[in-house]
Amino acid sequence: MIGRLSGTLVAKHPPGLMIDVGGVGYELEAPMSTFYELPETGKAVVLFTHHAVKEDSVALYGFHRESERTLFRTLLKVSGIGAKTALAILSGASVDEFARLVQNGDVASLVRIPGIGKKTAERIIVELRDRIEGMVVPSLPGSYGRAAPVDPVGEATVALQALGYKPAEVSRLVAKVAETGDTSEAIIRKALRAALK
């Protein structure tokens, strides 16, 4: 199993990224919470990883914090939740925010996350309420100096659709939150917060 990667960030196009480790390029998928913490391409990066092997596919998922990986793995044990939904959950809420939603039984906020319906939200609350308490770790948003991409709105739109949001909702969210000078990461962060309100 691959549990951690340390190398050079080669590319980042949410939700995918590539890390060069000793001449080998590892492709990973990561939640937006991890993308917010990534340095510029060409810089050193260390990520905790989850290596998923299925009959028809092999995938690698990367996380900035071990608490995010722990929550991701816990979510995969909930019936009806796959990797895509687990990434959407981590993209839409920090570990401690998600823990609060579960502990408070906040179905209304959980169903705003792509891929989660009312029954799934209720199942998450029932199955995780007792297990989630030990996971709450203060999660401070970090940022690195980044050059603004050529088209941050377009990049944010593609990333939000990859997370499972419908095109019409993405357009509405992006139009509502995007401001001149925003990076794609800033637009995505604001859109995900707006979606939970």
For the entire predicted model, the pTM comes to 0.67
At residue 121, the 3 state secondary structure works out as helix
Q: Which CATH number fits domain 152-195: 3.40.50.300, 2.102.10.10, 3.30.465.10, 1.10.8.10?
A: 1.10.8.10
User: Is 145 buried (19+), middle (13-18) or exposed (0-12) by CB count in 10 A?
Assistant: exposed
Q: Decide if pLDDT at 20 tops 80.
A: yes
Residue 33 near residue 181, CB atoms below 8 Å: no
Residue 89 near residue 102, CB atoms below 8 Å: no
Tally the residues of the chain: 197
Q: Cα(96)–Cα(40) distance, rounded to whole angstroms? A: 27
Query: Which ranges in the chain are annotated with CATH 2.40.50.140?
Result: 4-63
Based on its alpha-carbon atoms, the radius of gyration of the chain, rounded to whole angstroms, reads: 16
Query: Which ranges in the chain are annotated with CATH 1.10.150.20?
Result: 66-133
Which helix (H) or strand (E) is 61 found in, with range? Answer: strand 58-63
CATH of domain 66-133: 1.10.150.20
Q: pLDDT value at position 63?
A: 94
Q: Decide if pLDDT at 139 tops 70.
A: no
Q: Which CATH architecture has domain 4-63?
A: Beta Barrel (2.40)
Query: Which ranges in the chain are annotated with CATH 1.10.8.10?
Result: 152-195
Q: Decide if pLDDT at 49 tops 90.
A: yes
Q: pLDDT value at position 153?
A: 80
Residue appearing with tokens 């019936």: 79
Q: Cα(100)–Cα(163) distance, rounded to whole angstroms? A: 22
Q: pLDDT value at position 43?
A: 94
Q: pLDDT value at position 60?
A: 93
